[in-house]
Amino acid sequence: MAAAAFYDLDGTLCRTNLVHAFAYNARNQQGLWRSVTRTASTVASIPLFLAADLFNRRLFNEIFFRRYRGESEDRLRYLAQELFDTVVRPSIFPGAYELTDKSRRLGLRQVLVTGALDLTVEPLVRHLGLDDSVTNHLEFVDGKATGRLLPPVMAAATKASWIRTYAEKEGLNLTECYSYSDSMSDLPMLSVVGHPTAVNPDFRLRNTALQHDWPILDLR
């Protein structure tokens, strides 16, 4: 049976995160006053985002993506490539290229599993030459974001569930698959495969990796 390598994105393959992408969109609103106020609001909300993320990733998603309410779908799509060129691509860790290249040479399917938005991820998937991806998707009504995510929301255990379903559909042997993440919140995603790897891990994930004798990589 075939196998795959499943990658988290933020903190694993690149140093940016969801807030960086939102902040870029906030700075590039139509009209100077709107850009200034949206940027100031984003900066003021960072402590709230951090607290919500530490408490529960699903709560963070509900609070964070509400900030997109009212954003134009066309505008977000228009800025996507510019966001990638300006913010995301310079933040890709040098070791990310080596890791994906080596994984590809081993014949593993390259799959990105991330809570980032599809609009942000699409240019990166093309840039890294990945085979597949699953992302979060904003709900739009009449071309405007409602501030809600369409299900399933990619976070924590949902990522592991998606990987199981994907592997069954694609005929992949999970025992031979690899997964890579930097965060303890992705422990379910790491545990569902035969070859979990902690990448640039936070304190809790590093300790867990050491306890289970998982490889630890630093791609920075």
- CATH number of the domain bearing residue 22: 3.40.50.1000
Residue 53: left if φ>0, alpha if ψ -120 to 50, beta else—which one?
A: alpha
pLDDT at 48: 58
pLDDT at 62: 76
Q: Among 48-52, 64-68, 93-97, 130-134, name the one with the lowest average pLDDT.
A: 48-52
Neighbours of 8 (CB within 10 A): 24
Mean per-residue pLDDT, 3-22: 92
pLDDT at 164: 97
Check whether 37 has a pLDDT greater than 90. Answer: no
Name the band, by pLDDT with cuts 50, 70 and 90, for residue 155: confident
pLDDT at 33: 47
Alpha-carbon distance of 18 to 22, in angstroms, equals 6
Domain that holds residue 65: 4-217
Mean per-residue pLDDT, 67-89: 92
CA triple 57-60-64, angle to 5 deg: 145
Q: Among 41-50, 86-95, 123-132, 181-190, name the one with the lowest average pLDDT.
A: 41-50
Rounded to 5 degrees, φ, ψ at 104 are: -65, -40
pTM of the prediction?
A: 0.88
The amino acid present at 182, given as its one-letter code, is D
Domain count, the chain: 1
pLDDT at 32: 47
- Token pair, residue 213, equals 């004798």
More confident residue, 36 or 197: 197
Element (H, E) at 96: helix 94-105
